[in-house]
Amino acid sequence: MMTDFLNDPRFRDLKPFESRVWLSSPTMHGEEQHWVDEAILTNWVSTVGKNIDVVEKECAEKVGRRFAVGLSAGTAALHLAIRLAGERLYGPAPANQGVLRGHKVFCSDCTFDATVNPVAYENGEAVFIDTELDSWNMSPEALEKAFSLYPEVRLIVLAHLYGTPAKCDELRAIADRHGALIVEDAAESFGSTYKGTQTGCFGDYAIISFNGNKIITGSSGGMFLTDSEEDAHKIRKWSTQSREDAPWYQHEELGYNYRMSNVIAGVIRGQLPYLETHIAQKREIYERYREGLKDLPVVMNPIPAETNPNYWLSCLTVNPEALCAQVRDERRALYITEPGKSCPTEILGALAAFKAEGRPIWKPMHLQPVYRNHVFITAQGVARGRSNAYIAEAAAADNGAELFRYGLCLPSDNKMTEAQQRVIIDIIHRCFE
Ligand SMILES: *Cc1c(COP(=O)(O)O)cnc(C)c1O
């Protein structure tokens, strides 16, 4: 059944927000305008300029890596990072052939598809590694299992979900034991630390994103991070169509148009001084949800010991005993509301009806039609292309599917007021009435 929330007796006395409360929208401070204007007034309106230089330097310093290269998107940064890793492992690919040439790559399963698509761009075969519930990131046990099944694998693509660091030490130790490289997708976790070290420092290559909904944004943009000057040069060259040092356009390798714009870099430059402010705001939002929802049969996304997340998105999962009937096909969802119970579909529907934006947890990659025939490995073993129906029964062995089934991302916008958040917390309570 689909509820008409505005006329449902549980909600009838509530009014929608006057202006929408977003999941996570850009939060501008004014300096962005200054640096964008300066770029335009000085005519540095291309992929060269002071804003790019400053932003690269500041990002490298913040994260604690020697070099940063500004790119057009986090996805572009991931693509070049994966290409670089592939070249180091398997040698340069002839033009028009992916550098991974059919090799398997172990990838985070519960993430945005931008994490893993570049593996396919380079003709690699993504093998999805299940999630652990302690951090909602790649499970070290499942990764170990994966190496026992495919000891020849040499590359891992690892994401930090919603700003919470993965178990970096454990994962790094496993990678080292098997001689594998790590590409670290810190797109969502800029400013988060694990045992005092910033995410973006754990991968052989790492990236962050400045997409419009990230904690620091340029409207778009991404950053490649490395400690090797040679790698930084290579990425800069590839991102500008691989032009050789010659009097004409000389190309000896495949290139891309992936460089960051100096105008975009102006937005990022104005944002960077506010990273810690944004983290503090996001943390308060998380704490208020945790406090406000503690009497409900739900739990917030975990904050593992020894991590300081950036709290990019606050999430919850409904406890299994409090989940009402909910089914999803590939495109739609239905549920049956029940007193004392609710489900992500109902909560997201109620929030939307009152003009607040939530989102389901990332649907795991192994459940995505585009990747459905790929191998998926849990701590218990291997599974291939499963249907949703099977997942429902086997949920205990598939943490990613479980998070997708029980979880959702809550409105986590920096600009959400305390009063608005109180109403959102109230709406969630009413879902369980
Ligand atoms: C946003 C995001 C990306 C991609 O970044 P873009 O800048 O949007 O290309 C990659 N991975 C994860 C986990 C993300 O959340």
pLDDT digits (tens, 9 = 90+) for 204-219: 999 999 999 999 999 9
SS3 sequence of 87-130: HHHHCCCCCCCCCCCCCEEEEECCCCHHHCHHHHHCCCEEEEEC
pLDDT in the model for residue 105 = 98
Classified as helix, coil or strand, 271 is helix
**Out of 172-176, 327-331, 356-360, 404-408, least confident range:** 327-331
DSSP codes, 201-235: SSSSEEEEE-BTTSSS--BSBEEEEES-HHHHHHH
Nearest CA, atom 7, ligand 1: 74
Percent of the chain exceeding pLDDT 70 equals: 96
**Out of 47-51, 179-183, 374-378, least confident range:** 374-378
Count of residues making up the chain: 433
pLDDT in the model for residue 384 = 62
- The ligand 1 atom nearest the CA atom of 76: 9
Between vectors from CA 303 to CA 284 and to CA 335, what angle results, nearest 5°? 85
Task: Give me the residues paired with residue 300 across strands.
Answer: 316
Pocket probe mutation, ligand 1, options 25, 79, 112, max atoms within 8 Å of Cβ: 112
Per-residue pLDDT tens over the stretch 247-256: 999 999 999 9
Average pLDDT, stretch 46-57?
97
Nearest CA, atom 8, ligand 1: 211
pLDDT beyond 50 at 102: yes
Average pLDDT, stretch 167-189?
98
Q: What is the mean pLDDT of the chain?
A: 95
- Of 162, 428, 207, 417, the residue nearest 296 (C-alpha): 428
pLDDT in the model for residue 268 = 98
- Rounded distance between C-alpha atoms, residue 365 and residue 143, angstroms: 16
pLDDT beyond 60 at 320: yes
Question: What is the residue whose two structure tokens read 């070099």?
Answer: 67
Cα 171 to averaged position of ligand 1 atoms, centre (Å): 21
Element of type H or E holding 198: strand 197-198
pLDDT in the model for residue 383 = 73
- Rounded distance between C-alpha atoms, residue 152 and residue 141, angstroms: 18
pLDDT in the model for residue 373 = 87
- Rounded distance between C-alpha atoms, residue 107 and residue 104, angstroms: 9
Per-residue pLDDT tens over the stretch 7-37: 999 999 999 999 999 999 999 999 999 999 9
Residues 6+ apart with CB under 8 A from 53: none
Indicate if ligand 1 lies below 6 Å from the C-beta of 209.
Answer: yes
pLDDT in the model for residue 396 = 46
Indicate if ligand 1 lies below 6 Å from the C-beta of 114.
Answer: yes
Q: Give 200's DSSP letter.
A: T
Cα 107 to averaged position of ligand 1 atoms, centre (Å): 15
Cα 207 to averaged position of ligand 1 atoms, centre (Å): 9
Pocket probe mutation, ligand 1, options 80, 109, 161, 209, max atoms within 8 Å of Cβ: 209
Q: Give 69's DSSP letter.
A: E
pLDDT in the model for residue 382 = 79
Cα 186 to averaged position of ligand 1 atoms, centre (Å): 9
**Rounded (10°) angle between helices 262-271 and 31-41:** 150
Tokens in use for 409?
């991302």
- The ligand 1 atom nearest the CA atom of 111: 13
Phi-psi region of 27 (alpha: psi -120 to 50; beta: other; left: phi over 0): beta
Between vectors from CA 265 to CA 120 and to CA 227, what angle results, nearest 5°? 60
pLDDT in the model for residue 380 = 84
- Of 53, 61, 59, 68, the residue nearest 235 (C-alpha): 68
Indicate if ligand 1 lies below 6 Å from the C-beta of 188.
Answer: yes
Pocket probe mutation, ligand 1, options 71, 162, 188, 267, max atoms within 8 Å of Cβ: 188
Residues 6+ apart with CB under 8 A from 422: 292
Classified as helix, coil or strand, 243 is strand
Q: Report the predicted TM-score, pTM, of the whole model to 2 decimal places.
A: 0.96
Per-residue pLDDT tens over the stretch 254-286: 999 999 999 999 999 999 999 999 999 999 999
Cα 286 to averaged position of ligand 1 atoms, centre (Å): 21
Of 202 and 395, more confident: 202
- Of 354, 353, 349, the residue nearest 324 (C-alpha): 349
Indicate if ligand 1 lies below 6 Å from the C-beta of 268.
Answer: no
pLDDT beyond 70 at 389: no
Dihedral of CA 350/353/358/363: which sign?
positive
Asked if residues 59 and 225 have their Cβ atoms less than 8 Å apart, the reply is yes
